[in-house]
A and B are shown apart, each in its own frame.
Chain A
Amino acid sequence: MSKRKVKETHMTVGECISQVQTILRQRFCHQRLPEKPMGIESQHKHLLELLRRTAVHGESNSVLIVGPRGSGKTMLLKCVLRDLLEVKDVNKNVLQVHLNGLLQTDDRIALKEITRQLNLENVVGDKVFGSFAENLAFLLEALKKGDRSSSRPVLFILDEFDLFAHHKNQTLLYNLLDVSQSAQAPVAVIGLTCRLDVLELLEKRVKSRFSHRQIHLLSSLSFRQYLDNVILQLSLPPDFADAKFFEEWNDSIKRLCKDKSVVDVLEKHYNSSKDFRSLHLLLMLVLSQVSVCKPSIKPTDLLEASRVCVADSKANILHGLSVLELCLIIAMKHLSDIYEGEPFNFQMVHNEFKKFLQRKSQSIYNFDKPVVMKAFEHLQQLELIKSVDGSTGKIHKEYQLMKLMLDHNQIMEALQKYPQCPTDVKQWALSAFG
């Protein structure tokens, strides 16, 4: 079937937009696997070849996929697994065990999960094993049963691999890697991690059993490629039902990515992170602004989305403080200035505040100490200030030493944006001494 010879249906704008939303959300929100992962062809080939050897020739192996958050480790693996099952000669009997360091938090849980995923719960039954190694050996042996002479290859996938290194004695890692080195059964151990220093977490006996094969995912995308990728991510696939809309949309995307302001915003994002995930986040915010009333993406949508992405959360929170709370922050700022960042306590802050009231303020009402205390505690609840010696809880709360978790610029910026900030308060903040 030729590419654009599908039934030429015509849909309303509403239906088209609905389709656009469905398709693009699959990409940005659902981590839908791409046909071909971008820019990591060699890694893909490498991993596919390794796993093919296990699946076809029964060679055991171990490998780590290492890359920062959102760099596509999980995606790469899933693509490879998908493609592996399509390779000629791949034993369709290949088994997969998926573990995740976030979920299988100790080896007992992990073992239960392995048993379950290998469908061996009935075989194991109530048997009691002396050690983890015996148990694992039993499982692998059980896979051999039947009339097959050799056992089925098993792929052990360990996402968040580094977390398994925290398990007691690293028993699971030790045994899996041990099996992958001896010829007991064809297994491949594939670890995924964002820690570049992962090997240092391994005990010597564990490390020595690892093949030291690593596949790195460090994005080397140039900005040009990044831009092309944005276009690709926003474009509709050729099998989109409405031909006219398809062309208009894709043209508008190309035009969008030529707009100077859009390129600037994207370049800023590219410079802070090149990974796909943060791009998806940005594009999702853009996409959410597309509707029947506004059936295309405008440069302003991108600017707005980028503003949401880079907004300073602390500044947002400061904006909503009461004047009293703001005054306390200013007092703390002065204290930090005077005592060069030494911690302070409520008494001192209250004292600074009182000095301000006596000397300069007309606009601020003289609050009772408990009211000020309540404001102080609220700041603590918001974690804008933090007690320095958390353990010595027996100190009276007035004297508990605190640290301000904001820097100078954040405070000054917040003051600028603060709605109807009294002038005397502003001046107080600007003055060099409390």
Chain B
Amino acid sequence: MAGQLLQPGYEENKLQRVSKLLPCRDVQSSMLLALMGEPEQYSYPSIFIYGHRATGKSHVIHTLLKELDIPYATVTCVECVSLGLLFEQVLFSLFGPDSATLLSRSPSLSDFVRVYKQLCVQNPAKQTKYIVLDRAELLRDMDANLLPAFLRLQELVEDNVTVILLSEIVWDKFRPNTGCFEPLLLHFPDYSKDELQQILSEDSHPSYSTELYSAFINILLGVFYSVCRDLRELRHLAALNFAKFVEPLESGKVNESETHKLWRNIEPHLKKAMQTVYLREVSSVQWEQQMEKEAGAVRGLSAHGHVELPYYSKFLLIAAYLASYNPARTDRRFFLKHHGKIKKTNFLKKHEKTSNHLLGPKPFALDRLLAIFYSVVDSRVAPSASVFSQISSLVTLQLLSQVGHNDQLDAPKYKCAVSLDFILAISRTVSFDIVKYLYDFL
């Protein structure tokens, strides 16, 4: 299996342990070890390791450093809300608990380097120290000088230290305008299907044979591999679905050798899992964070279906949808009482080859919304409730979104923020055939 790791200066049995802990990453671990050299030899000042999620970047680094008793500090940049915290963690891990107290309340880079140097004088050591910065892309947003300073930390603190940056984003997206100390780039390739099979199979279940578990993994990869290669996520999916896989075995209906039956049992289940489990972590993470920052408003209404709207609000929303997706100049055609028959081509303009539904909702002004609203509810009772307060509650529910700032002088504009499916469902509850009114579907 794994090739031997060799490197003078480290105990052989430790190296063996390491290579056992790092299946399918022997090329990377021996490359890293070779770059690190013997414990007291200098290594390259900064090393940038990139590769997809769960390709073992952090795992390999941590295993090497920990198992070989190398002095190191590791910081996950997501956890660092402030620079001070980052510096503290580094000093704490490298120089012990008392060291961080030397930092002032909100330390600058200058303070960090000064304290680091001071501690080096107090604790002279020859071994190379390592600082691992995980999710390094976040450093870019912290302080413009942080990244360039860490890249040449060895020069700045005049110590035998190497900084290792880990990220899934390529180095090109890090380089500052005026350049910096270029780190040594190292790529961690994605695991092949066979490698994933091998690694996942190692988790096997205590009460079942390894062959059975491995067969299960094979099926799992068959379903998910084309969508997801993230080892962590696959492992999670495997753990969740194994019980279902062995159900027929438990009940005695099938025995272990009847793999085809087992497959038939689990496959539809896994496909369903793709929709529920896989998306459960509805990784709109980034998006939602961004939204939260900007709106600071109610989120988590993705289960739009559960929102029970007042009768007229539904019409308001329908009107908003129409206003967002129909070109304004077609309003007459749809909403004027006694219009003649006009063909779609009469409206067609050159640049309108793409459908409005592909381009997304367009902003509209309040009066246009109201005009459409009155024309779609007209046959029914005239609305008595305050239209404006309903609009604002649609905005807080995030079914409508307001465009531009609140303090803008001109009248506010809105956009409809619901999907076609959603509006179809709403229309059905009030028996309104919205499709007839949508320009795209003429």
Q: Which residues of A contact B (CB under 8 A)?
A: 14, 18, 21-22, 25-26, 28-31, 68-70, 74, 100-105, 109, 112-113, 116, 162-163, 194-195, 277-278, 281, 284-285, 288-289, 291-293, 308-309, 311, 313-314, 316-317, 319-320, 322-324, 345, 347-348, 351, 364-365, 367-368, 370-371, 373-375, 377-378, 380-383, 393-399, 419
Contacts and interface: CB of A to CB of B under 8 A. Distances in A.
Interface in B265-317: 274-275, 278-279, 282-287, 290-291, 293-295
A102 B190 contact: no
Interface in B136-159: 145, 148-149, 152, 154-156
Nearest to A292: B8
A44 to B, nearest CB: 20
B101 interface: no
A195 B176 CA distance: 13
A111 to B, nearest CB: 11
B255 interface: no
A102 B156 contact: yes
Nearest to B357: A347
Contacts of B228: 322
A291 B6 contact: yes
Contact of A365 (B38, B51, B226, B354): B226
B113 A103 contact: yes
B121 interface: no
Contacts of A394: 294-295, 401-403, 415
Nearest to B223: A365
Nearest to A386: B173
Contact of B291 (A31, A314, A380, A393): A393
B108 A293 contact: no
B179 A194 contact: yes
Nearest 7 A/B pairs, CB to CB: A399-B360, A320-B190, A313-B170, A29-B42, A393-B294, A288-B34, A103-B110
Contacts of B114: 113, 116
B180 interface: yes
Nearest to B224: A322
A293 B226 contact: no
Contacts of A68: 179
B358 A345 contact: yes
Given A278-B182, A382-B169, A319 B359 contact: no
B295 A371 contact: no
A247 to B, nearest CB: 23
Interface in B335-350: none
B282 A103 contact: no
A102 B8 contact: no
B108 A348 contact: no
Nearest to B226: A323
Contacts of A109: 108, 110
B57 to A, nearest CB: 12
Contact of B168 (A69, A278, A364, A381): A381
A393 B290 CA distance: 7
A29 B45 contact: yes
B229 interface: yes
- Contact-size category for B: 35 or more
Interface in B35-77: 35, 37-38, 40-45, 50-52, 55
Given A317-B50, A345-B360, A371 B110 contact: no
Given A69-B180, A281-B184, A380 B172 contact: no
Given A284-B44, A319-B190, A313 B31 contact: no
B359 A399 contact: yes
Contacts of B9: 18
A119 to B, nearest CB: 14
A213 B119 CA distance: 38
Contacts, number: 192
A291 to B, nearest CB: 7
Contacts of B6: 291, 293
B109 interface: yes
B187 interface: yes
Given A102-B156, A314-B172, A381 B286 contact: yes
Interface string B179-220: 111101111011010000000000000000000000000000
Q: Which of B170, B228, B293 has the most CB of A within 10 A?
A: B170
Nearest to B149: A102
B122 interface: no
B412 to A, nearest CB: 12
Nearest to B52: A320
Contacts of A377: 283-287
B178 interface: yes
Contact of A383 (B55, B156, B169, B192): B169
Contacts of A281: 44, 182, 184
Contact of A313 (B43, B44, B109, B185): B185
B95 interface: no
Given A313-B170, A324-B226, 12 more contacts: A21-B37, A22-B41, A29-B43, A29-B44, A163-B145, A278-B182, A284-B44, A347-B358, A373-B284, A382-B169, A383-B170, A393-B295
Contact of A21 (B41, B44, B357): B41
Nearest to A26: B42
A109 B108 CA distance: 8
B276 to A, nearest CB: 10
Given A103-B109, A105-B109, A313-B171, A345 B43 contact: no
Contacts of B38: 18, 21-22
B53 to A, nearest CB: 8
B361 interface: yes
Given A29-B43, A284-B44, A370-B275, A320 B55 contact: yes
Interface in B402-429: 402-403, 415, 417, 419
B227 interface: yes
Nearest to A326: B226
Given A103-B110, A393-B294, A322 B275 contact: no
Interface string B74-113: 0000000000000000000000000000000000111001
18 contacts: A21-B37, A30-B154, A30-B160, A69-B179, A74-B155, A102-B152, A195-B178, A308-B185, A311-B185, A313-B171, A316-B187, A317-B50, A381-B168, A383-B173, A393-B295, A394-B295, A394-B401, A395-B415
B334 interface: no
A102 B109 contact: yes
Q: Which of B51, B282, B358 has the most CB of A within 10 A?
A: B358
B226 A322 contact: yes
Contacts of B278: 371, 374
Interface in B377-421: 401-403, 415, 417, 419
B374 interface: no
Contacts of B42: 25-26, 29-30
Contact of A371 (B168, B227, B357): B227
B8 A14 contact: yes
A310 to B, nearest CB: 10
Contacts of A113: 110, 114
B225 interface: yes
Interface string B310-332: 00000000000000000000000
Nearest to B398: A394
Nearest to A399: B360
A367 B227 contact: yes
B108 A370 contact: no
A428 to B, nearest CB: 15
Given A103-B110, A293-B6, A383-B173, A399 B286 contact: no
Given A21-B38, A320-B229, A105 B145 contact: yes
Given A371-B227, A375-B227, A394-B294, A348 B148 contact: no
Nearest to A22: B41
A105 B145 CA distance: 8
Contacts of A31: 155
